[in-house]
A = this chain, B = another copy of it.
Amino acid sequence: MEKVELLMTQMVETLDDKYILELFEKIPKGKRLRAKLILKIAGLSEDAYKLAAIVELIHAASLLHDDVIDDAMLRRGQESINSIFGDKTSIMLGDILYSTGFAALTALPQNVAFKVSNAVALLSAGELLDVELSKKFNDNEEQYIDMIYKKTASLIEASSASAAMLGGKNVEIYEIYGKNLGLAFQVIDDILDITQDSDKLGKPSLHDFKEGKTTLPYLYLYKRIDADEKKKLLSLFKKDLDEDDRMWIKNRMKETCSLDDSMEYARKLGGEALESIKDEKNDHLSDIITQMIYRDF
What residues make up the interface of A, taking CB atoms closer than 8 Å to B? 14-15, 17, 19-20, 62, 65, 68-69, 87-89, 91-96, 98-100, 102-103, 105-107, 110, 113-114, 117-118, 120-125, 127-129, 131-132
Contact = CB atoms under 8 A, between A and B. Distances in A.
A113 B123 contact: no
Contacts of A110: 106-107, 110
Contacts of A96: 121, 124-125, 128
Given A17-B125, A20-B125, A68-B91, A106 B114 contact: yes
Contact of A128 (B93, B123, B128): B93
A102 B15 CA distance: 19
A98 to B, nearest CB: 6
Contacts of A106: 105-106, 110, 113-114, 117
A131 B132 CA distance: 29
Q: Give this chain's copy count.
A: 2
Contacts of A88: 68-69, 131
Nearest to A120: B99
A132 B68 CA distance: 18
A127 B98 CA distance: 14
Given A91-B68, A131-B89, A99 B113 contact: no
A100 B121 contact: yes
A133 to B, nearest CB: 11
Given A106-B106, A128-B92, A131-B88, A99 B98 contact: yes
A244 B99 CA distance: 44
B114 A95 contact: no
A20 B129 CA distance: 9
A114 B103 contact: yes
A11 B19 CA distance: 34
Contact of A124 (B95, B122, B131): B95
Contacts of A68: 88, 91
Nearest to A110: B106
A125 B15 contact: yes
A105 B129 CA distance: 25
Contact of A102 (B62, B65, B92, B102): B102
Contacts of A113: 106, 113
Contacts of A131: 88-89, 92
A160 to B, nearest CB: 18
A117 B92 contact: no
Nearest to A90: B91
A69 B105 CA distance: 27
B19 A92 contact: no
B120 A91 contact: no
B127 A103 contact: no
A128 B105 CA distance: 23
Given A69-B91, A98-B98, A103 B125 contact: no
